């Protein structure tokens, strides 16, 4: 199994509803996002997927989050915008945009240098 990973980042604010901590107050992070895709076959150029193509897809999703108050975004409206929820959102937005023969493996969202959450799937597409 081959794995390809790219990273991107965005800056955004959020508050964690019902956390009963100081994080219920509006605060911000410089988030780092790591994406992992995998597959069993390389293309004729010897690549699973071109890094630049994956970066373009991820960038389109990240742009919806960058410099926003995540509490105000419609697609997160019914959830507390935790790192876990953001990872799941990015994962679900990536799935329909990667080639069908590849598996969306994992998205990690780092809200600081030492704290991250991830969302992953062990199921094959299709």
Tens digits of per-residue pLDDT, 25-56?
788 899 999 999 999 999 999 999 999 999 99
Predicted confidence at residue 18, as pLDDT, reads 63
Alpha helices by DSSP H, the chain:
51-62, 83-94
Predicted confidence at residue 123, as pLDDT, reads 57
Distance CA 59, CA 56 (A): 5
- Tokens 């004729």 — which residue? 44
Distance CA 74, CA 77 (A): 5
Alpha helices by DSSP H, 3-125:
51-62, 83-94
Distance CA 117, CA 126 (A): 26
Question: Is residue 126 very low, low, confident or very high in pLDDT (cuts 50, 70, 90)?
Answer: very low
Sort strands 27-39 and 2-14 into parallel, antiparallel or unpaired: antiparallel
Predicted confidence at residue 109, as pLDDT, reads 97
3 state DSSP class of 3: strand
Q: What dotted CATH number matches 2-120?
A: 3.30.479.10
pTM score: 0.88
The answer to whether residue 98 scores a pLDDT higher than 90 is: yes
The answer to whether residue 74 scores a pLDDT higher than 60 is: yes
The answer to whether residue 114 scores a pLDDT higher than 60 is: yes
Q: Which residues are designated catalytic?
A: 23, 67, 111
Mean pLDDT, the chain, whole residue set: 89
Closest Cα partner for 117 from 1, 2, 3, 16? 16
Two tokens at 34?
Answer: 């790591």
Q: How far apart are the first and last CA of the chain?
A: 18
């Amino acid at each position: 199994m081959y794995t390809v990973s790219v990273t991107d980042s965005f800056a955004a604010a959020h508050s964690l509803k019902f956390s009963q901590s100081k994080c219920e107050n509006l605060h911000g992070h410089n988030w780092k996002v790591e994406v992992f895709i995998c597959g069993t076959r390389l293309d004729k150029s010897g690549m699973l997927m071109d890094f630049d193509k994956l970066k373009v897809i991820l960038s389109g999703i990240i742009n919806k989050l960058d410099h926003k108050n995540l509490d105000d975004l419609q697609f997160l409206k019914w959830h507390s915008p935790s790192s876990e929820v953001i990872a799941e959102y990015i994962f679900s937005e990536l799935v329909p945009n990667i080639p069908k023969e590849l598996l969306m493996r994992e998205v990690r969202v780092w809200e600081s240098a030492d704290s991250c959450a991830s969302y992953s799937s062990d199921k094959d597409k299709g």
